[in-house]
Amino acid sequence: MNYILIGICILLVLNIFLGLFRLKQGPGNVDRLIVAQFFGTKAVALLLIFSYLSQNGMLRDVALAFTLLSLIATLAFTRMSYDLEAKDKASSLEGENK
């Protein structure tokens, strides 16, 4: 069983390296946010597997903290994007009124 989990960990790390390639090619901020979410998901999966293998419950707490951090980052990015979009619309409306 442990060999299977170690194999899964290796595949997850390789998957993270593929995500780095995608991060470099990502044309926009949304693509970069998706890659950041991808990294967060892989980090949580790795931490949970390591927690199981080492019988260390604190790693589950760290995985939970990473999950919450990822959620907060997504909400902040969405809020920032929405505010920028609203400012762009407001400035274009002001330009039309002049």
pLDDT digits (tens, 9 = 90+) for 38-86: 888 998 999 999 999 999 989 999 999 999 988 898 888 888 877 776 7
Instruction: Return the pLDDT at 93.
Output: 65
Instruction: Tell me: pLDDT of 98 over 90.
Output: no
**Rounded percentage of the chain residues whose pLDDT exceeds 90:** 33
Report the interhelical angle of 29-54 vs 58-97 (nearest 10°): 170
Instruction: Return the pLDDT at 36.
Output: 81
Q: Where are the domains of the chain?
A: 2-97
* 6 Cβ neighbours under 8 A, 6+ residues apart: 53
